[in-house]
Chains A and B, each alone.
Chain A
Amino acid sequence: MDYLTIIQILDSALRLATPLLLTCLAGLFSERAGVVDIGLEGKLLAAAFLAGAAAAVTGSIWIGLLAGVAGSLAFSMLHGLASITFKGDQLISGVALNFLAAGLTVVIGQSWFKLGGRTPSLSGDGRFESWNLPFSDAMAKIPVVGPAYDELISGHTALTYLALLAVPLSWWVLYRSRFGLRLRAVGENPSAVDTAGISVVKLRYAALVIAGVLCGLAGTYLASLAAGFVKDMSAGRGYIALAALIFAKWRPWYALWATLLFGLLEAIGNRYQSIALGDFVIPVQFMQALPYILTVIILAGFVGKAIPPRASGQSYVKER
């Protein structure tokens, strides 16, 4: 494996990690506020569909982005209605939303475009264009550093840079702002927050709004990357993001490393159908399953314990 191949794999890893990172951060805000979100997958899918549809019709991915975020937000609010307002089971609501997205996107997609659930393919302004950072062409000629800058750091779409930017931003919001302090408190001990005269319901809805927007971005990114929506295109990424979230122990910087790792696994799996280690061949299916296996190992507490926010999964009832 030569240097350029490594750079290309890392570049592809960053590309694949972007939707995971955005989705993972979405889950981070939601779960830090005490709302478990296994509906990430559904939001991702709904956003990808609406973004793909709107971009195909209008020819602009930015309008697609608005539609994607709106769709994801609608799902997020439905989750809030069920799990916050009506104090229903958050897990069940999440499961329902995943199925709702899986079904609706195909049923509506077929009705709108008659392409078997796909949206027309996107081209030109229908997709995000990659941003060439300054001097990337000039730098490309410099050995070692040049290709790394040109291939790996430069040439991604706006959303990749936005996702990377979202990491320090999330960290700052969660750990340095008043809102973040309250948000974390509501995920650990909602009655204390309530006693302080702050609305638990409002805070949790706020967290779901953030989660909805982030998932919307991630879904739009998927639609743009694949040049259109195809049935089930999220392909379990919502669950992988959830796995990354546990892997990251519900912290923003760790979320970045976890999603990059999972992106890298996917990139390697895409490039090499099977990897030979001497006589032993690692099958491609093993590479596909590795994120899930890693998550189970982490969850088992063999590699550091992952402790979720204390009140996550519980709806808040004022008087017990």
Chain B
Amino acid sequence: MNKMPKWADAVLIPLISILLAFFFSGLVIWAIGKDPVVAIKTMVQGAFGSTSGISYTLYYATNFIFTGLAVAVAYHARLFNIGGEGQAMLGGLGVTLVCLAVPWPHWMLALPAAMIGGALFGAAWAFIPAWLQAKRGSHIVITTIMFNYIGAALLGYLLTKVLKVPGSMLTESARFPEGAHLPNFSEILAPFGINFSPNAPANMAFFVALLCTFLFWILIWKTRLGYEIRAYGQSETAAKYAGINPSRIVIIAMLISGGLAGLMAINNVMGEAERLIDNAVEGAGFIGIAVALMGRNHPIGILLAALLFGFLYQGGAELSFWESIPRELVVVIQALVIMFTGALDNMVRMPLEKLFVALGKNKKKEA
């Protein structure tokens, strides 16, 4: 039964949902006595008005691409992975251990090793909830939430007791060696004669994120495993009849998901901080949920949504600086986006379906 053309489902509904979310965000800004138009101008100026702003926008977007893809892989298998935050934290630990293990001679060697470290630790943190879901039927949403907290406690312990530099007051690991420094955009673009803000954080990891987006598309739509993941997500019983092993799919999908979340650490830990700090993930794991929902679990959608949230994040920082609107406004926008594109999907969908059915009938009459 095709009630709606495909473009309406893929583009129109998300667009209306996002507009609704932004409309209500504007209302919030207006309600606290600020001018929404000025706010938007400030945000755009802050996010795109300088190379430093662009760099921050892309840096945040890189985080969200990783976590958005992570949520989306699991979602294709009908698994709701809320544990991206914890998996990214553990990924940070993996990256840190790799970077501090040897005095890396060059980032070209350090980056692949750090990617493996981050992905492995992230995947490991997703493995236990995945195994429990597959073998013991424990609900993955609850277990991944629990693992976020357990991960935070674990990292808190490691940072204060194990990784901390002796004698230092700061709860952070030692600085990574020079050779593990990822080139940032200023260093990448300088040979081309483009001047880019040298102290801004966007770095090599952005291109890794783009590569992952492409690989995600191949995996989900062009491989047998991706087909199995989608089949399992559509109907567990049908997948079983087709000879797909459900526990295998659950575990593999979650391992990939956790691995992608863990990969985020090459951006925030290796690329930006160059050491492991407390609360390095800053909620990016949760924003992944909004990004995946908004991007309809499609790589292009996720890329666009991640850029949008990168803009909101950087713009939000400027907003708190210039307009004294707290940064938490971004959390409100994020919540509204999740609400409208996720939970209230039917509110937009049902009237639109009726509209298209009515339009279809009219056409038939004319013909």
List the interface of chain A (C-beta within 8 A of B).
38, 81-83, 86-93, 95-100, 102-108, 110-111, 117, 231, 236, 239, 242-243, 246, 283, 285-286, 288-289, 292-293, 295-296, 299-301, 308
**In the complex with contacts A92-B338, A92-B343, A110-B326, A104-B332 CB distance below 8 A:** yes
Closest Cβ of chain B to A320, distance in Å, is: 14
| Residues in B neighbouring A289, C-beta threshold 8 A | 149-150, 153-154
Interface segment, one of B45-53, B134-142, B226-234, B258-266: B134-142
**In the complex with contacts A88-B346, A111-B33, A285-B156, A96-B339 CB distance below 8 A:** yes
Smallest Cβ-Cβ distance to B133: which chain A residue = A299
Is B344's CB under 8 angstroms from A99's CB?
no
A-B contact count (CB 8 A): 149
User: Interface centre among A96, A243, A246, A293, by most B CB within 10 Å?
Assistant: A96
Q: Which 7 A-B pairs have the closest CB atoms?
A: A103-B331, A103-B332, A99-B335, A93-B343, A289-B153, A88-B343, A111-B32
| Residues in B neighbouring A117, C-beta threshold 8 A | 326, 328
Is A88's CB under 8 angstroms from B345's CB?
yes
Smallest Cβ-Cβ distance to B131: which chain A residue = A300
| Residues in B neighbouring A102, C-beta threshold 8 A | 328, 331, 335
| Residues in B neighbouring A90, C-beta threshold 8 A | 343
A236 to B330, CA, bound (A): 20
Contact of A300 among B132, B328, B343, B346 (CB under 8 A): B132
Is B326's CB under 8 angstroms from A86's CB?
no
Contact of A296 among B141, B147, B328 (CB under 8 A): B147
List the interface of chain B (C-beta within 8 A of A).
28, 31-33, 80, 82, 128, 132, 136-139, 141-143, 145-147, 149-150, 153-154, 156-157, 161, 286, 289, 293, 324-326, 328-336, 338-339, 342-347, 350
**In the complex with contacts A299-B139, A301-B138, A82-B343 CB distance below 8 A:** yes
5 examples of A-B residue contacts, CB within 8 angstroms: A38-B141, A102-B331, A236-B149, A296-B138, A299-B132
Smallest Cβ-Cβ distance to B293: which chain A residue = A92
Is A93's CB under 8 angstroms from B342's CB?
yes
Closest Cβ of chain B to A195, distance in Å, is: 24
**In the complex with contacts A111-B32, A296-B143, A95-B289 CB distance below 8 A:** yes
Closest Cβ of chain A to B97, distance in Å, is: 19
| Residues in A neighbouring B331, C-beta threshold 8 A | 99, 102-103, 106
Contact of A96 among B146, B147, B153, B335 (CB under 8 A): B335
Closest Cβ of chain A to B70, distance in Å, is: 15
Closest Cβ of chain A to B84, distance in Å, is: 12
Smallest Cβ-Cβ distance to B331: which chain A residue = A103
A86 to B128, CA, bound (A): 34
A117 to B332, CA, bound (A): 14
| Residues in A neighbouring B346, C-beta threshold 8 A | 86-88
Smallest Cβ-Cβ distance to B324: which chain A residue = A110
A38 to B80, CA, bound (A): 13
Smallest Cβ-Cβ distance to A98: which chain B residue = B335
A98 to B145, CA, bound (A): 13
Smallest Cβ-Cβ distance to B161: which chain A residue = A283
Is A292's CB under 8 angstroms from B336's CB?
no
Closest Cβ of chain A to B252, distance in Å, is: 20
Additional A-B contacts beyond A82-B344, A104-B328, A289-B149 (13; CB < 8 A):
A81-B344, A86-B345, A88-B347, A93-B343, A95-B338, A96-B339, A97-B335, A102-B328, A103-B328, A110-B32, A110-B324, A246-B142, A296-B150
Is B154's CB under 8 angstroms from A103's CB?
no
Is B149's CB under 8 angstroms from A239's CB?
yes
Is B149's CB under 8 angstroms from A292's CB?
yes
Smallest Cβ-Cβ distance to A287: which chain B residue = B153
Is A301's CB under 8 angstroms from B136's CB?
yes
Closest Cβ of chain B to A98, distance in Å, is: 8
| Residues in B neighbouring A95, C-beta threshold 8 A | 82, 286, 289, 338, 342
Closest Cβ of chain B to A81, distance in Å, is: 8
Is B347's CB under 8 angstroms from A86's CB?
yes
Contact of A107 among B28, B139, B153 (CB under 8 A): B28
| Residues in A neighbouring B154, C-beta threshold 8 A | 285, 289
Is A293's CB under 8 angstroms from B342's CB?
no
Is B147's CB under 8 angstroms from A88's CB?
no
Closest Cβ of chain B to A95, distance in Å, is: 6
A106 to B32, CA, bound (A): 11
A98 to B139, CA, bound (A): 19
Smallest Cβ-Cβ distance to A89: which chain B residue = B343
Contact of A108 among B32, B82, B156, B350 (CB under 8 A): B32
Closest Cβ of chain A to B127, distance in Å, is: 13
A242 to B141, CA, bound (A): 11
Is B344's CB under 8 angstroms from A86's CB?
yes
| Residues in A neighbouring B32, C-beta threshold 8 A | 107-108, 110-111
